[in-house]
Amino acid sequence: MILEPVLQLRGDGGQHDLRSNRSPEARLEEAIGLSAAINLNIVHSGIVRISNPKPATLFGEGKVAEFAGIVASEDLDLVVIDHPLSPVQQRNLERRLKTKVIDRTGLILEIFGDRARTKEGRLQVDLAHLSWQKSRLVRSWTHLERQRGGAGFMGGPGETQIEADRRQIQDRIIALQKQLQGVRRTRDLHRKKRKKIPQPVVALVGYTNAGKSTLFNRLTEADVFAKDLLFATLDPTLRKVSLPHGREVIVSDTVGFISDLPTHLVAAFRATLEEVLEADLILHVRDISHADTDAQAEDVRKTLSDLGVDAISGAPVVEVWNKIDCLDPAYRQKLLEDAGEEGPIALSALTGEGVGGLLARMDAFMAQHDDILALKIPVAEGALLAKLYQLAEVLERTDAEDFVTAEVRVSDKQRGPFRDTFGAHIVD
């Protein structure tokens, strides 16, 4: 059973939904999609409006009794509450409903655990799960309390079982954090190696199921798992892409974002999302056919801001409006006309429509800080001429009897190595 609580605030204009950035129906549909992502069989779902949230159970007594009846009659194994639950609320609901209860964070963690494939992904999932579980140790273990220490009433109680569990979890968290620090060091080494052979990095970000992995496969001709499924991709993937003028860039596919993503989840996946922080260009992929595309875009911007990426200090962000093949033809045409040369890029990663425009925009962005230089190199310098094609894009070349003259484009990242090698041959 999936329940979508709608907490309502009484005001002058009546009652207002506290999470009004999107409709309750859309939020319920997303929760159903999240549950379907781990193959849960959904028997019952519904929206529950709450005007007076109860600290003990969130819902009122009547609603709790109603849900207990549904759980018993349908013999349900799991109830998903698409809303944060306090540890006490989760415990009380499990007692009253006589079945397992998880909140939105618990559901997302279950999906992450199911999707993680690499060692790094599993470490991040374990860390996020333990951080969440640590606050859930609310059961009474007093019957397992250890023997009092000291003499008479002067001695305090020994360590209870719940304290022992919490300590063991904390020890495990520390161990996982150390392992993830090793992952971060490895990633830093890889980045340093990439910077020695400078290639710009383009990061794909977006709401989950916006089509990032499909676009990644289209750009790179890779075979990354892509499916119409929330959180289909968890582990980061990097591939080289050749742009129209021959320049190579590295494209990074990242985990999808989602609304109400808990802070400790973002922290656990920071090693993965650091690829975004190091990017030269960020492509914000949006499912433009989704009814809540604007609200989804705002959630992505908020998560990017939490990571330290903003419009002033971070890499430039270009919006990519994906899934235009799902739009009404007239509306699609209007989007394409409104986008213009400098606005969002409208495309379909599935059909390939508009992908050429994206590659051209990426190429133009990477070229805006390039140097256009004229060179004059002796014909006998064959090795130097070969090196020219490695460090620059040759726009024009003329071979004479004694010298080769060329006009080349040099990227800003290659500017230093190029001038070190060809400084004596640059024509003013």
409 membership: H or E segment, kind and range = strand 403-410
Local structure of 303: helix, strand or coil: helix
- Residue-wise pLDDT for 28-76, tens only, equals 998 998 888 888 999 999 999 998 899 999 999 999 999 999 999 999 9
- Residue-wise pLDDT for 273-312, tens only, equals 666 777 889 999 999 998 889 989 988 888 778 767 665 5
pLDDT for residue 155: 41
Secondary structure E strands in 82-162: 100-103
Residues with Cβ within 8 Å of 372's Cβ and at least 6 positions away in sequence, in order, are 395, 407, 408, 409, 410
Query: Does residue 418 surpass a pLDDT of 90?
Result: no
User: Which tokens sit at 177?
Assistant: 């954090």
Closest CA to 207 of 226, 236, 230, 228: 230
Q: How confident is the model at residue 264 (pLDDT cuts 50, 70, 90)?
A: low
Across 11-20, 199-208, 284-293, 315-324, least confident range: 11-20
Residues with Cβ within 8 Å of 30's Cβ and at least 6 positions away in sequence, in order, are 82, 230, 258, 259
63 membership: H or E segment, kind and range = helix 61-74
Average pLDDT estimate for 196-204 = 78
Question: Could you say which DSSP state residue 324 is in?
Answer: G
User: Which tokens sit at 82?
Assistant: 């698409």
Bridging pattern class, strands 201-206 and 248-253 = parallel
Q: Tokens 């996946």, residue? A: 269
